[in-house]
A = this chain, B = another copy of it.
Amino acid sequence: MKLNERGLLVVMSGPSGVGKGTIRKALFQMPENNFCYSVSMTTRKPRNGEINGVDYFFVSREEFEQNIHEGKLLEYAEFVGELYGTPLSYIEQKLSEGKEVIIEIEVQGALQVREKMPDAVFVFIVPPSKKELEERLHNRGTDNASTVAQRLAKAEREYPLAYKYDYIVVNDDVYNAADRIYAIIRAEHAKTERSIQKYTKLMEGKE
C-alpha cells in the first residue's frame, strides 16, 4: 500500500556521456514500473518518422512564445535557433494520474525546476571517475576531439553543482544505477512529509 498516490517528478542531470539515456531505458524496462517520460515541446520541424505528442509536441514559434508568456513551461532553452521546453500541464496530468515522471535536463534547467517544483526529486548521475567519462566519450565515437574536450570542460564546471541535488548516483553499472534510482523513488513515496496526510486519514478510518 502506497501512502502517497501522486506520482513523483524525477529530474536527472549529469555530464554528457555519463549514460543518462541508457539508465532511463533500463528504468523503463523494469517490471511493473509506473514511469512516464516527459514529452518536450519544440519549434523545430519533425524528422521522418517522428510523431507529434510522442517524440515532441511540434509547435510554431508563436505558439511556443505564447506558452512562455502564459507560464506554461517548466523550463525552456534555445539551441541552434530552435526552442525546446518542458510543458507543465502534461507533467501535472501524469503526476496526478500517479505516474512517476522522469525528465533529463541540463544543470541550469534543473535549478530552474527546483524553484517551480520544490516537490521534485533531483538526481545527479556521475561517472565512477573522471577518467572513465573521458574514455566513454572517446569510445562513443559520435564527437570529434574538440567536441569531446568541450563536453569534458562543461562536466568540469558542473561537478561542483552536485551538492544542489538530493541524490548522487554513480553509474558504475547501468542496472545498478537504475535500481538505485528506483529505490530512491520508492523511498521518496514513503517519506513522512509525502505520506502523512493519507496516513492520518487511514488512522481515522476514512480510507
Contacts and interface: CB of A to CB of B under 8 A. Distances in A.
A33 B136 CA distance: 31
Interface in A154-207: 159, 162-163, 165-170, 172, 176, 179-180, 182-184, 186-188, 190-192, 195-196, 199, 202-203, 205
Given A129-B205, A162-B199, A205-B130, A192 B3 contact: no
Contacts of A165: 192
Contacts of A205: 129-131
The quantity of this chain's copies bound in the complex is 2
Nearest to A156: B203
Q: Which of A130, A169, A179, A186 has the most CB of B within 10 A?
A: A186
Given A159-B203, A202-B126, A203-B130, A168 B196 contact: yes
Contacts of A126: 199, 202-203
A1 interface: yes
Range of interface residues on A (Cβ < 8 Å) = 35 or more
A184 B190 contact: yes
Contacts of A191: 166-167
Contact of A128 (B159, B167, B172, B202): B202
A56 interface: no
Contacts of A182: 183
A154 to B, nearest CB: 14
Interface string A103-133: 0000000000000000000011010111100
17 contacts: A1-B172, A3-B170, A126-B202, A128-B202, A130-B205, A163-B192, A166-B191, A167-B190, A167-B192, A168-B190, A179-B186, A180-B186, A180-B190, A183-B187, A183-B190, A184-B190, A187-B187
